[in-house]
Structure 1
Amino acid sequence: MATYVFPGQGAQFKGMGSELFREFKDMVREANAIVGYDIEELCMFDKHNLLSKTEYTQPALFVVNALSYLKNRQENNEKIDYFAGHSLGEYNALFAADVFDFETGVKLVEKRGQLMSMARGGGMSAVIGLDQNTIEQIISINKFNLEIANCNSPSQIVVSGLKEDVTAAREYFLEEGAKHYVILNVSGAFHSRHMQEYSRMFADYVGQFSFNKPSVPVISNVHAEPYSDHLIHQFLIEQMTNRVNWTGSIRYLLEQGQTEFVEVGPGQVLTKLIDAIQQTTTIEVTKSISTQKEVSEYTQTTLNKLGESSFQQVYDVKLSYMVSFLPKGITSAEMIIKLARSNILGFYGASGLPLDRIEQDLTYINKELGKLQPFGVGILGGAYNSNDQEILKLLLKHKVANLEIQGYKNITPALVQFRAEGLVRDDHGIVSINHRIIAQAKSIEDAEIFLSPAPAYLLEDMVLKGLLSQEKAEWLMNIPMVDDLYVESTITETNRMLDSAVLLPAVIKMRDLRTRSTSWPRTRIGSAMQIGSPETTGLSFFLGADFVVTRSINQATVEAGLSNMAKSMLDRARDKNSAIVPKVDCFESGEYTMVLHDNMYFAERADLLYRLFYNNDSWYEIDEEERNRIQELYLGQTFEQVQDNLSAILPKSILKRAERNGKVAMAHIYYWYLEQAQDLAITGDMRHSGEYHICFDQAAAACNNWLSGTEMETWENRRVDKLAEKLMLEAEMYLNERLSELKS
């Protein structure tokens, strides 16, 4: 089993490729025509000392590596299991795997070299003899503007950052035990966040090329795992601003059973590094329930053991489990159909979509499902989502009986009307509830509102206005506003998660007290406490939840309404790849939301916009240079153009407030940026992948950890219904195991 590896910048030397240029004359001429100089002369003689300069090194080394590989294949036809390359060498790995041809490879590395050579004010240094954790601690404690750029081996790590910090850090690393601290002869902070400007320029260039699926797996430097077919552009762009995880890449290959490594190109630099990595790597094999076949061995009776049986009966589903909606159709019509056909409850994400799109999708869902299968529609509350009345009219028109609401802090007339339209009294005087509402609660106060009937003053006002009959108003006085309520954590800047494990029992206790002291129907209480693994699912039921709610984990499924690129970014992410950004509806309360932050600048930009909002009373108080930069890089248009665009989608009441209050107008800028960034993730615009606004919380991270090494590791193999079944089955197993341990 062989892995071919290609060296990167630093392996070049005068005279390299001497035995290759004459044999591959046509290819050399092709490369010369692209770069505009004689590569053979540069490599053989280097008369002007250019070979060490980045813009010349990269094309020259790519050509020599490529020709070396072609020569090898002429002489050796052994089967190759994997390709990998160190930094620049990764382009040779992709060339060898038929992702692009020789001409494209030369063009890419020439552009890459040109852009990297433009970087100024940065530096890099090789730290020999310290491990990664020690290096990160030294950087953190001393607040150096540095980051790890290359993990070449466990004891050879390169740091990158501002030139003055690279120089100043030398004595600190040596004092902590580094054997050597070698400052490299480069002008830029390569493989760090300081290369973002050049990365964006490279993204624009890369976008013009189309790539093929690798014929042999290629290991990504950044992710230390094989390239995803859908993310080749993204991985190439990421490489410029992220560390070269060579140690992780080789360890991944060792875990796959790779034992033979062939270095192709000048020198033996990588061979020595691989030897060092092998000497410090122990491969462990773990076993878990991982395949769908294993899951299917459990019977259907196991599926419905967890949770409240009345939830399953009322909604006609097989699980006490619900897929909560994400807006803008991310929880898509296709997802709802897939769930309903498997008798699992899901809610279509209507908020943020135009009404004609919502009606089109509801027509499609009803046509596919008929009248019997369970599903619902979800809407968001808040000032920026004020079209709930129009959406609820569509639900009535299409006879949708189930509604999920998120972000509501009070009961609105539209909710009361939806509830009232489903009330029917039979001949015996018994009122049945045919329009069901499931509400999100993030506090005791939220729960108290929804566990109670609609406020009397609101019912009276609606009767006076002719919006509600007196009879139905009287019925509503004895019916809680919701049939089901689920608790969910609130995220703040200082506390990433206000624990719903505390909130859940408190809300259950409040519900039980109300049920005993009134004649109101019993409201079921569910949990959305970061449900993404069997453990958190089992814990929710152990704490008394009647049902569980998932949301973020369903984005990385085949049926989700996100782009393939966004899904591929999601399914490989872990907890460290998350960040928090303020929610535009919750500036005053300080509530945040968790987003994906893997080689992306969306979170930093969102945070800067919020800080500008916080520190200024008007857009025009901001420094003109800063305003222009934001308009050009963040918004892609002027402040005034954003306001004009918002006038077509925001309620008039909000727009009038913005005219009177500059701070409200600034909040609109933030809202616009978040909305546009979410649209980019949905459409999959590769040129702006660093600005994707993607929900990624602890549940999504836990789900990826849980599914790692299973058939569902990648989104292409995650079906939303099978994910639900697997999660509930393994939660049941987890609870049984824990209870058995406690008994023993």
Structure 2
Amino acid sequence: MVGALAHRHWRDSGGADVAFYAGHSLGEYCALHAAGAFDFATGLRLVRRRGELMAGARGGGMIAVVDLDRDQVTELVREGGFCTLVVANDNSPRQCVVSGDADSIDELGPYLRERGVRWVRLRVSGGFHSALMRPAQREFRRFLDAFDLAAPRVPVIANATARPYPSGTTAAMLADQIVQPVRWTETVRYLLDAGVTEFVELGGAVLTKLVEQTRAASSATRSAPAPVPTPAPARALRAQDLGSAVFRERHGLRFAYVAGGMYRGIASPELVARLGRAGMLGFLGTGGLEPVEIERGIKEVQAALGEDGPCGVNLIADHDDPDAEEAVVDVLLRHRVRLVEASAYIQMTPALVRYRATGLRRGPDGRPVCEHRVMAKVSRPEVAAAFMAPPPDSVLDRLLATGALTAEQAELARQVPMSHDITVEADSGGHTDGGIPTVLLPSMLELRRRVLAERSYAEPICMGLAGGIGTPAAVAAAFVLGADYVVTGSVNQCTVEAATSDAVKDLLQGIDVQDTDYAPAGDMFELGSKVQVLRKGVFFPARGNKLHALYTHHDSLDDLPAKTRQLLERTYFRKPLEEVWADVARHLRATGRTELLRRAERQPKQKMALVFRRYFGYTARIALEGRPEDKVNYQVHTGPALGSFNQWVRGTPHESWRHRHVDEIGRMLLDAAADHLAAFPRP
């Protein structure tokens, strides 16, 4: 901690008051200590553990590139097909460091030399500040849980965001720093824009040179004479030109590209944050998670992107337990979540209306300002119409009577639709109605036209398309059909950032378009609703359909044939059905659902449904955990779009899911879709 001692000496020698602190990589710990986030002893413990974890990293490497800026280096890496490499240190407009796996770093050097680029291989064994450090990040995050780290008393500019540390995020940001790039050029520019004129480096002179390079580049940009206007040449269609500018501006995006929230947290905080940093939108997956787990995920995303960063949280209608849906909305409101993806709704529930309406206020012109937005996933016109209408009066009146809404919020809610963004969901992985996109989207667009002709909303309604989007041609087709944005799902489940098991990803990366099937949805088992799931290599679709057939044709567990019962106990549940029922009963008591338990004890058919539902919960859980002993029972929600994506990337580095990153996939699809559209002659 030489830097910390240098700061103490400088302060004791009469150093001036400080407006900001900043440190490069490990130096950020010195900056946080100087700003009062932790004491010297704590800093030593943190740095020691971080050093141990970094020293344990193997199989990576780093190359410093000279006389090029970050965008130039990024483009070179991209053009060379080095999809696993990232710019890990953006040190100045004249120096960047590229990090990643050792094999790719070995190939990058000669590639740069052939193009006359100056570079130096760094003597390190790890690909620091890259995804290769994710195991170290997870271990360090657990280590940080033992410390109570304070917010800096003086603003500290974070390496990962080039913005001041938000309150309450010190531990999360330090953990994120291990895998995120050091955005030093942006840090210096932020400080210059904030009016900083004097930079004092303690314990060295390297950063001072980097600061001066950035300062000089910024001054040259500001003082350069304005170019003489000339007619702009016709430019090629770009990824950022696709879709609706209204949609992009509404959500602070660069691209009209969304990744849906995959259940049980498969759409992880890391996945959402990575998309947000790339100018795309991701939704945190919450289905099947407890409120405390959802809260933890929201905190991680907000620590990475800030409260106003481009991100959202999936909110699922809970038809069995409305109180559980209300509890999730409480979490969303407590953490000021500004955007939710509403899934599985067939009508507007009090919880969803409360979320939407409590975010309304009157603007200076008297019109409603929407601070809580809902992106609705729909597959039926009547549900889309409900989302394009204001909340039902009956629900608003009830919320107003209970004090959940103010009179002004209820009044404003009657002037806006439940959702300004409607995602039309065609046949897809997970819950599906099997819709055809070329039929569904035009029909929904016509419905939107009629609604907007009838109502005088201040804001337009945007409409996106989800389901079956796994190739550039599919993305291009969605925009040609009139979609304002596209939503991907299955392709994101087979990425590094997806929070499912490696075993599942190994299965998914090898499927083709014919390797999915339909099975009953566990959460709507009695209704016979369907989910689309993986078929190749597993027995779940056949077994799930068998259970529903048994439920349809028998009135109770006791009514099952003896051989059938033995088969279920041996291969499906791996325990006697009486034990399965005992597990169900314990769960219902623990979650306060005693009325459902009493009803099932009186109604044998209901009891059978609850026992059979247990299989669906078990199969989803073991897939997420990657249990090797029961792989044939994995339940994996996915659609044929992933098969088409697998075919598209076959023979490229992205054939392996270990080289697939959710933001890179999005950009690949958009770039190639733009090229696809540009290739067609225009009138």
The TM-score with structure 1 as length reference comes to 0.57
Aligned positions of 1:81-480 closer than 5 A: 302-384=238-320, 386=322, 387-480=324-417
Checking the alignment, whether the CA contact within 8 Å between 2:307 and 2:337 is kept in structure 1 is no
Find the aligned partners of 1:653 and 1:468 in 2 and give their Cα distance: 30
- 1:642 equivalent among 559, 583, 591: 583
What is the aligned partner in structure 2 of residue 507 from structure 1? 444
Give 1:311 shift. 1.0
SS in 2 for 1:318: coil
Change (3 A) 1:588 1:512: farther
Would the aligned equivalents of 1:439 and 1:484 in 2 still touch at CA under 8 Å? yes
629, 634, 637: which one aligns with 1:687: 629
Q: SS state of the match for residue 712, structure 1?
A: helix
Query: Residues 313 and 657 (structure 1 numbering): CA distance in 2 closer, same or farther, change over 3 Å?
Result: farther
Q: CA deviation at 1:592?
A: 1.7
How far, CA to CA, are the matches of 2:612 and 2:375 in structure 1?
Answer: 29
For residues 449 and 528 of structure 1, the distance between their equivalents in structure 2, rounded to whole angstroms, comes to 19
Quote the residue 1:671 is aligned against: 613
One-letter amino acid of the counterpart of residue 399, structure 1: R
CA contact (8 A) 2:525 2:613 kept: no
1:591 equivalent in alignment to 2:529: yes
- Other structure's SS at 1:553 match: helix
Query: For the Cα contact (< 8 Å) 2:429–2:533, is it kept in 1?
Result: no
For residues 52-107 of structure 1, the C-alpha deviation after alignment (integer angstroms, 9 at most, x for no partner) is xxxxxxxxxxxxxxxxxxxxxxxxxxxxxxxxxxxxxxxxxxxxxxxxxxxxxxxx
2:538 alignment counterpart: 600
In structure 2, what residue type is equivalent to 1:505? P
* 3-state secondary structure, aligned to 2:313: strand
Question: Is the contact between residue 602 and residue 690 of structure 1 (CA under 8 Å) also seen in structure 2?
Answer: yes
SS at match of 1:504: helix
* Per-residue deviation, 1:513: 1.4
- Asked if the contact 2:426/2:465 (under 8 Å) is kept, the reply is no
Structure 1 residues 437 and 650: CA distance shift in structure 2, 3 A: farther
How far has the Cα of 1:551 moved from its partner? 0.9
How far off its partner does 1:428 sit? 3.0
Q: Distance in 2 between matches of 1:400 and 1:451?
A: 21
Structure 2 match to 1:90: none
Q: Does 551-560 or 665-674 show the bigger shift?
A: 665-674
**Aligned in 2, Cα 1:448/1:588: closer, same or farther, shift over 3 Å?**
farther
Structure 1 equivalent of residue 54 of structure 2: none
Counterpart residue identity of residue 315, structure 2:
I
SS in 1 for 2:498: coil
Superposed displacement of residue 370, structure 1: 2.2
CA deviations over 1:211-264 (Å, ceiling 9, x no partner): xxxxxxxxxxxxxxxxxxxxxxxxxxxxxxxxxxxxxxxxxxxxxxxxxxxxxx
- Decide whether aligned partners of structure 1 residues 341 and 492 sit closer, same or farther in structure 2, where only a CA change above 3 A counts: closer
How many angstroms apart in 1 are the aligned matches of 2:428 and 2:275?
29
Inter-partner Cα distance in structure 2 for 1:496 and 1:385: 23
Equivalents in 1 of 2:564, 2:256: separation in Å?
51
Matched, 1:701 2:643: yes
- Match for residue 568 of structure 1 among 475, 486, 506: 506
Task: Say which is worse superposed, 418-427 or 717-726, in terms of deviation.
Answer: 418-427
Are positions 1:714 and 2:618 aligned together?
no
- The 1:330–1:708 alpha-carbon spacing in structure 2 relative to 1, beyond 3 Å, is same
Report the Cα distance in structure 2 between the residues aligned to 1:330 and 1:300, rounded to whole angstroms.
Answer: 36
Partner SS state of residue 439, structure 1: strand
User: Is 1:618–1:662's contact at 8 Å kept on the other side of the alignment?
Assistant: yes
1:633 and 2:571 are equivalent in the alignment? yes
State the one-letter code of the partner of 1:658.
A
Letter in 2 for 1:531: I
> Is the CA contact (8 Å cut-off) linking 2:344 and 2:377 kept in structure 1?
yes
Give the C-alpha shift of residue 601 in structure 1: 1.3
**Partners in 2 of 1:590 and 1:625 — Cα distance?**
25
Q: Is the 8 A contact 2:237 2:678 kept in 1?
A: no
Residues 524 and 714 of structure 1: CA distance in aligned 2, closer, same or farther (over 3 Å): same
Alpha-carbon shift at residue 565 of structure 1 (Å)? 1.0
Q: CA shift at 1:654, angstroms?
A: 4.1
Instruction: Supply the distance in 1 between the matched residues of 2:372 and 2:309 (Cα, whole angstroms).
Output: 15
Deviations 1:30-61 (A, max 9, x none): xxxxxxxxxxxxxxxxxxxxxxxxxxxxxxxx
Alpha-carbon distance between aligned partners in 2 of 1:383 and 1:655, rounded to the nearest angstrom: 17
TM-score (structure 2 length as normaliser): 0.62
Question: How far apart are the structure 1 equivalents of 2:242 and 2:553?
Answer: 49
Hey, what's the Cα distance between the residues in 1 that align with 2:261 and 2:655? 22
Q: Is this contact kept in 1: 2:509–2:646, CA < 8 A?
A: yes
Describe the shift of the 1:693–1:588 C-alpha distance in structure 2 as closer, same or farther (beyond 3 A).
closer
The CA distance in 2 between the partners of 1:561 and 1:535, in whole Å, is: 28
AA of the residue aligned to 1:661: Q
Counterpart AA for 2:282: G
Distance 1:384 1:563, change over 3 A: farther
1:733 pairs with 675, 678, 683, which one? 675
Identify the match of residue 622 of structure 1 among 557, 560, 563: 560
C-alpha distance in structure 2 between counterparts of 1:727 and 1:666, whole Å: 45
Cα deviation digits, residues 365-392 of structure 1 (max 9, x gap)? 2222223421111022243564221111
Secondary structure in 1 aligned to 2:366? Answer: coil
Change (3 A) 1:584 1:685: closer
Question: Which stretch shows the higher mean deviation, 408-417 or 369-378?
Answer: 369-378
Alignment counterpart, residue 466 of structure 2, candidates 528, 532, 536 = 528
Distance 2:428 2:665 in 1: 26
- Aligned with 2:383: secondary structure? helix
Distance in 1 (CA, whole Å) between partners of 2:492 and 2:283 is 12
Secondary structure class of the residue paired with 1:505: helix
In the aligned structure 1, how far is the partner of 2:487 from the partner of 2:321? 22
Given that residues 303 and 725 in structure 1 are in contact (C-alpha distance below 8 angstroms), is that contact kept between their aligned partners in structure 2?
Answer: yes
Distance in 2, Cα, partners of 1:388 & 1:300: 46
Cα deviation code 1:173-209 (max 9, x no counterpart):
xxxxxxxxxxxxxxxxxxxxxxxxxxxxxxxxxxxxx
User: Counterparts of 2:595 and 2:341 in 1: how far apart (Å)?
Assistant: 25
Question: Does the 8 A contact of 1:501 with 1:529 survive in 2?
Answer: no
Q: Indicate the SS of the match to 2:518.
A: strand
Structure 2 equivalent of residue 541 of structure 1: 479
Query: Is the Cα contact below 8 Å between 2:362 and 2:412 reproduced in 1?
Result: no
Taking the aligned partners of 1:619 and 1:602, their CA distance within structure 2 comes to: 20
**Is the contact between residue 343 and residue 373 of structure 1 (CA under 8 Å) also seen in structure 2?**
no
Q: Report the CA distance between 1:471 and its aligned residue.
A: 2.1
Root-mean-square deviation over aligned CA pairs: 2.3
Distance 1:470 1:547 in 2: 35
Q: Secondary structure, in 3 states, of the residue corresponding to 1:725? A: helix
Distance 1:428 1:519 in 2: 16
